[in-house]
Chain A
Amino acid sequence: MNVFNNLSTLIFLPLLGAILLLFVPNNIRLIRQIGLISALLAFIHSLFFWVRFDNSTAHFQFVEQMNWLPSSNIQLYIGIDGISLFFILLTTFLIPICMLAGWSSIQNYRREFMIAFLVLEALMIAVFCMLDLLLFYVFFESVLIPMFLIIGVWGSRERKIRAAYQFFLYTLFGSVFMLLGILFLFFQTGTTDIQILYTTEFSERRQILLWLAFFASFAVKVPMVPVHIWLPEAHVEAPTAGSVILAGILLKLGTYGFLRFSIPMFPDATLYFTPLIFTLSVIAIVYTSCTTLRQVDLKKIIAYSSVAHMNFVTIGLFSLNPQGIEGSLMLMLSHGFVSSALFLCVGVLYDRHHTRLVRYYGGLANTMPVFCAIFLFFTLANMSLPGTSSFVGEFLILVGAFQSNTFVATLAATGMVLGAAYSLWLYNRVAFGNLKPHFLATYSDCNRREFFMFLPFVIVVIWMGIYPQIFLDTMHDSVMHCIEHSRI
């Protein structure tokens, strides 16, 4: 029984599924079922951690320790707190749905598809519970490998190879600097255990250099302007399930990194660079929102709106007060659900009509009413309508940002207006107007699999929008802990 209380079990569970998949006969039903069941088991298992989570402490929980490189004093050290718990839950929540998204649309290498997602799941859970900087880096980078394959193998067009390269190179380019920073830290302090590093003080000049090294890596992941351009490319070329993971989890690695490392470890540098972050984020919000208005590709629209939302998150993080950071966490989670669901919506359309260009669509409200209701719900959630999860996040972020920099909050709030403009523009183009029968000959509404794929999203988004306190309570102590660190 004790083994179920271990985070390492959670990491190995999907891996076990992946290994099992290697040896089963080539029966597609069996392969799918094994994949889905192991992902669902991981999800159920991850829920146990939330149930057993102790809200009243900011310390890391479910801690496990193992010697990894004893000669260099590097240990495999895992544990979670109120911040990382939800990212793990988000990961385990999204993976089964990704499998459902690829249920019938993935036609080749089906076994490998399932394996890729299970491996990806294990790696992502590992990233979020690593408490050792070097190992964090290892898993942070290793996530790229399955993702690169997912885009490259199951992507849709010829351009996918280029997009996959771009994705890989951009993120790798940033990470090199982080590796240098980590090595520097290691040679300075002799350890990469982040709990020790939290309590170590560095001189301001070092902090600035280190902060910049970490920033280079995280900023690409968030992504911040001007290194955001890999994202729309990667999204457009990735299969639906890949887009879901990309938007749902990989983007959060950047903001998670800021919150886990940059802010508590380098408090002086964080204060020093806050104006930079605010400037870049505000530019990104306005700039990408404007760009979104001119896109013709369904996926690009959602990808650009993701950039805008993620930069909202960075504003909240660097406002360095509880409202801002908790709001950011809420918005990250919310964005993980909402934009994933929007990508799934695009996937539903793409599966039927094999085009993502907006101009071929129109009048779907008549032929696909259920789909349009779902699409509308997530469109409204994307523009942070009250009652949905995004509103809670954006409102808290604005409260936080208003206290730390009124001007930035005002500019960021313009994103609200632009967000409404592009979201509604997209929905209206797809759902309203007349049908275009010479482009789209056949119609079918959501089938049962698709409906139940969306249902969990709807429930979670409304739940977080109406009763967010249960999430906030869990993250509160960890966030306060983080803020106290940054005030030292």
Chain B
Amino acid sequence: MNEWLYESAWLVAILPYFASLVAGGGLLVLRKATRSLREWHRTFLMGSLATSMILSFLLVQAQLGGSGPYRWAMDWIVSGHLRLQMGYLVDPLSSMMLVLITTVGLVVMLYSHKYMAYDQGYVRFFVYLSLFTASMLGLVLSPNLVQVYVFWELVGMCSYLLIGFWPNRLGAAKACQKAFVTNRIGDFGLLLGILGLYWATGSLEFGEIAERLARLLASQALGLFFPTLCCLLLLLGPLAKSAQIPLHVWLPDAMEGPTPISALIHAATMVAAGVFLIARMCPIFQQLGTVMETMAWAGALTSLLGASIALTQTDLKKGLAYSTMSQLGYMVMAMGIGSYEAGLFHLVTHAYSKALLFLGAGSVIHGMEPLVGWDPAKSQNMLLMGGLRRFMPITGTTFLLGTLSICGIPPLACFWSKDAILAGAWAAHPILWTIAWTTAGMTGLYMLRIYLLTFEGRFRGGSLLPYRSHQKAKPQEDGGMTSCLLILALPTVAIGWMNTPWFHLGPGPSPSLIAFSSMAVSSVGIALLGGCVAFLAYQRATLGLSGLSYQWPQLHRASYNRWHIDEIYDRSWVRTNQILAERASALDSWWIDGVANGAGLIGLVSGQANRAWQGGNLTYYALSMTIALVSLLAIVTFSTLP
């Protein structure tokens, strides 16, 4: 049974690819027919993903059953001593990711059926979704770095396509470009890192590189500098994908895409790919202290930065995006301090909770749009929401569940994982722990702020309603969407229980009870404190946080404007590049005309000069004959020299 299962594991990634290619090709060639058969296409695409999901569950079951990792690869490119392989590797890490991607992917597809129901590009959307899921599955199944790179770029491309799904939105066009180019900077580092590691160790397999690197370092054949440099470059890839400092700027802008995409790609799966790759590379990174430290600090700073920006955002999705950034920071930090299990655990719990939150946000936006207009600046503006739980009870309740989970309130999913990370940070470095702990408090504050502004209080959007007759209209939730929210609420509540002091799934020791409870008390305490501040400020209005922002407007503005990091990048990098481009093209056009004019000038001058020689003056003729003779002689002597 297991043998057969492992041999067909490649189907997990290939099935959705195949489905998306068939449907995508149909869209290109038989446009009308494909669009009119949209139900059929949706069923086909979802069916293929569902098959993948079943296979993934079987694979994870087999892995938990204790059968070892399974690896299969074939030669893809052979050139000299270089052998690039393609294949798949099934181990606990990849099987866990498979389940995560297929389940979230399927729920998001189910949800999109309603969310995108009236969109012209309905089939196209499903094709992109399927293509993305397939690439993501290919990425987590990769047995070597080259395959990782291939799928890494492909998921980036799908992200580009999906952020720019609505071509009419100028913001979307800018955002998808920004996302791709920022990620390309990361890919640039990733590629150089891969090449460097290949150069140093002669291998592209994760295990082999680690082994050979250890041997090289032990025998002093290789200094620490070069592998550290390579790994730092390589780290740029995960940092860009997972939106970490300094390459985090693309993620909030990516919210221009349709909301189901934000849930699937920019919260649950693709942004976690960086964390996944770091986990895969852990045996290599662990040998290099600098890399681990860099990772830990980048993660910690990102988590703090994300949380501090999320405090003041008024756009619902952007607030959630900064929260995602902050939580990803937690994961990267966990990787950096060596607690891989905790980081991966947080990856899973956060994925479900954040997907739930984003889909909830989608439901809210869907409800708001008919009332305030199809403009993201209005339909996603929390200042125009409020009191929505009365109109959308299921959305409100599940959103609250997600909020509490992200805040780290027991017994919801993220509590368990965040606690494990905090415990790891405590053991590693007190300052890291302080940052993480402070961030936990801020998480409580901003998450509850989002929830309260959106769902509690009184509805503030009424004044904006375009027509008087609409003023009676209330936002409504859609049954199809809420059922997806209910599905996701299950793992949001329960997935954390797979790794508690009392019960433990998978390898490794379970956390000790004493360390656990001391951490739990402190982290829940600070989260509750943050939550209370939010409650007092936004529900009761007894705590004048707005007064705070009046007192220090710079601080508020800085946080609202993302600490001006985007502007600084614009002014430094982007501007430098623009000036460089301007100069280069000016030089080029000057050169084009310069050469043409120069050639003309030479012709003119030499013509004038020659005129004197052709005037019938015998002396000149004699002189030219002499010169010619001498040069001829010189050439002959020169060419007969050995």
- Write the residues of chain A forming the contact surface with B, with a CB cutoff of 8 angstroms: 162, 166, 169, 187, 226, 229, 232-233, 287-288, 290-295, 321-323, 326-327, 363, 365-366, 369-370, 373, 380, 383, 385-387, 391-392, 395-396, 398-399, 402-403, 406, 409-410, 413-414, 416-417, 420-421, 424-425, 428, 431-434, 468-469, 472, 476
Contacts and interface: CB of A to CB of B under 8 A. Distances in A.
B111 interface: no
Given A392-B77, A476-B79, A402 B173 contact: no
25 contacts: A162-B596, A166-B596, A290-B585, A291-B584, A294-B582, A294-B584, A295-B585, A326-B79, A326-B80, A363-B168, A387-B150, A395-B191, A396-B77, A396-B79, A402-B198, A416-B184, A416-B187, A416-B188, A424-B177, A425-B177, A428-B176, A428-B177, A432-B173, A469-B78, A472-B77
A395 B196 CA distance: 13
Contacts of A232: 588
Contacts of B599: 169
Interface stretch (B447-455, B457-465, B498-506, B573-581): B573-581
B184 A293 contact: no
B639 to A, nearest CB: 8
B168 A433 contact: yes
Contacts of A322: 79-80, 82
B170 A424 contact: no
Contacts of B76: 469
B591 A386 contact: no
Contact of A385 (B75, B79, B80, B154): B154
A161 B157 CA distance: 41
A432 B195 contact: no
B180 A366 contact: no
B585 A385 contact: no
B164 interface: yes
A389 to B, nearest CB: 12
Kindly name the residue among A387, A391, A409, A417 whose own CB sees the greatest number of chain B CB atoms within 10 A.
A417
B582 A434 contact: no
Contacts, number: 138
Interface string B343-374: 00000000000000000000000000000000
B583 to A, nearest CB: 8
Interface in B144-198: 146, 149-151, 153-154, 157, 160, 164, 167-168, 170, 172-174, 176-177, 180-181, 184-185, 187-188, 191-192, 195-196, 198
B119 to A, nearest CB: 13
A431 B167 CA distance: 7
A369 B27 CA distance: 10
A413 B186 CA distance: 12
Given A290-B577, A421-B181, A428-B177, 8 more contacts: A290-B585, A293-B581, A321-B80, A323-B82, A366-B168, A406-B199, A420-B184, A432-B172
A294 B149 contact: no
A85 to B, nearest CB: 17
Given A321-B80, A428-B177, A432-B172, A229 B580 contact: no
B592 interface: yes
A433 B170 contact: yes
Nearest to A287: B584
Nearest to A188: B639
Contacts of B224: none
Interface residues of B, number: 53
Nearest to A410: B192
A380 B588 CA distance: 26
B571 interface: no
A385 B82 contact: no
B290 to A, nearest CB: 19
A488 B597 CA distance: 46
B215 interface: no
A416 B167 CA distance: 25
Interface of B: 28, 31, 75-80, 82, 146, 149-151, 153-154, 157, 160, 164, 167-168, 170, 172-174, 176-177, 180-181, 184-185, 187-188, 191-192, 195-196, 198-199, 577-578, 580-585, 588, 591-592, 595-596, 599, 639
Contact of A290 (B168, B192, B580): B580
Contacts of B584: 287-288, 290-291, 294
A386 B588 contact: no
A54 to B, nearest CB: 19
B298 to A, nearest CB: 20
B68 to A, nearest CB: 30
Contacts of A365: 167
Given A322-B80, A369-B31, A386-B150, A226 B199 contact: no
Most A CB atoms within 10 A — which of B187, B585, B591?
Answer: B585
B577 A468 contact: no
A75 to B, nearest CB: 25
A232 B192 CA distance: 31
Contact of A399 (B28, B82, B177, B583): B82
B164 A432 contact: yes
The 9 closest A-B pairs by CB, nearest first: A322-B80, A432-B173, A365-B167, A386-B150, A293-B581, A294-B585, A420-B184, A290-B584, A290-B581
A288 B581 CA distance: 9
Given A166-B596, A410-B192, A417-B185, A433 B180 contact: no
Contacts of B80: 321-323, 326
Given A290-B577, A293-B577, A321-B80, A424 B199 contact: no
Contacts of A416: 184, 187-188, 191
Given A399-B82, A417-B188, A420-B184, A380 B577 contact: no
A406 B233 CA distance: 14
Contacts of A421: 181, 184, 577
A472 B167 contact: no
Contacts of B160: 424
Nearest to A203: B642
Contacts of A287: 584
Contact of B180 (A169, A424, A431): A424
Nearest to A365: B167
A413 B167 contact: no
A472 B79 contact: yes
Contacts of B170: 432-434
Nearest to B167: A365
A40 B169 CA distance: 44
A382 B82 CA distance: 24
B181 A413 contact: no
Nearest to B75: A469
B582 A387 contact: no
B635 to A, nearest CB: 12
Contacts of B588: 229, 232, 291
